[in-house]
Chain A
Amino acid sequence: MQLPINTKSAYTGIMLSFALILSYLESLVSFDMLFPGIKLGLSNFIVLIALYVFGPIFAFALCISKAVLSSLLFGSMAAMIYSLCGAVLSFAIMFVLYRCGDFHIPVISAAGGVFHNLGQFIAAVYIMKTFIPGFWALYLSVLIISGLTTGLITGFIAQLAFPYIKKIISKGDRI
């Protein structure tokens, strides 16, 4: 969508605050009982919508600032490294698939979810320097499947919300 750059940055700020609210809501609900590190990743769909509406540069800025701010506000400094690593990797794969052009939003979101988990896994292995022999394969498969399902869920939400958000933004531009 063709928008002036200051409109884009203003809307990116609003989207960022929305993403932060979603990550706060998510930090209240925890799925950590079975496997640590699994969450719904609701704020991922904000990044996805920003990718479609504002283009890759704004979406990347949104993605990085979301990772930094949400771990500063609701997590710990150690969590920032994990979430930054996951955010960068998931944005990279979503951008590549978005540029390919042939994929639907839920699938792009699912790929982003999988690579977010993979990025966090790589960061965890690198930081803790333990590979957990005999356990990593199971953990990896759980991470991939959970990333896939949560990504599909948030992707469907994004697909449903997308036309409304587009409409609001194009209206707001005229005002």
Chain B
Amino acid sequence: MKKYGKDIILLTFFLCVALICLSCHFFKNGFHSEEDSRTANIYLNGEFIRSVDLNEDISFRIDSPGGFNVITVKDNAIAVTDSDCAGRTCINTGYIHNNTSFIACIPHGLFIRIDSDQAGGDLDAIAY
């Protein structure tokens, strides 16, 4: 019967590496989730006009030549909650919370997109 000493050393080594990686992660990032540092960018007729931090719940109004849009940030997600446009597609889109979707109000030329520089959590272009 062989001894288990080397086996245990090897297994402990792997566990240590895993723990070091884990502690590295939490040491560098704290205990916040990746979604905490997201911002939404608002464009009007193709031009960038405003950036919104998704951590704070706010609501504001954007006036454009065609009319107005009321934009609301709630629970790390953003939505258009009121508008005087014709189709109301922007309102019906609802809340978006990651960079895989967007809100557009075509009559007013409004476009809202979440640009996260950290891609973690939202894998959207990987095929296994």
Contacts and interface: CB of A to CB of B under 8 A. Distances in A.
B7 A107 contact: yes
B17 A144 contact: yes
A130 interface: yes
Contacts of A163: none
Contacts of B17: 141, 144
Interface string A104-136: 100100110010000000000000101011110
Interface residues of A, number: 30
A148 B127 CA distance: 25
Given A36-B123, A114-B14, A133 B118 contact: yes
B24 interface: yes
B99 to A, nearest CB: 14
B128 A82 contact: yes
A107 B10 contact: yes
Nearest to A133: B118
Given A79-B128, A107-B10, A130 B18 contact: no
A73 interface: no
B59 to A, nearest CB: 30
Contacts of B3: 102
B34 interface: yes
A114 B15 CA distance: 10
B34 to A, nearest CB: 7
B2 A102 contact: yes
A103 interface: yes
A129 B61 CA distance: 40
Contacts of A102: 2-3, 6
A104 B19 contact: no
A102 B3 CA distance: 8
13 contacts: A75-B128, A78-B127, A82-B128, A97-B10, A102-B3, A103-B7, A107-B11, A111-B10, A134-B34, A135-B25, A135-B34, A135-B121, A137-B21
Interface of B: 2-4, 6-7, 10-11, 14-15, 17-19, 21-22, 24-25, 28-29, 34, 118-121, 123, 126-128
Q: In the A-B complex, list the 10 residue pairs whose CB atoms are closest, starting with the nearest.
A: A135-B120, A141-B21, A137-B25, A144-B18, A141-B22, A138-B25, A107-B7, A141-B18, A137-B24, A137-B21
Interface of A: 32, 36-37, 75-76, 78-79, 82, 97, 100, 102-104, 107, 110-111, 114, 128, 130, 132-135, 137-138, 140-141, 144-145, 148
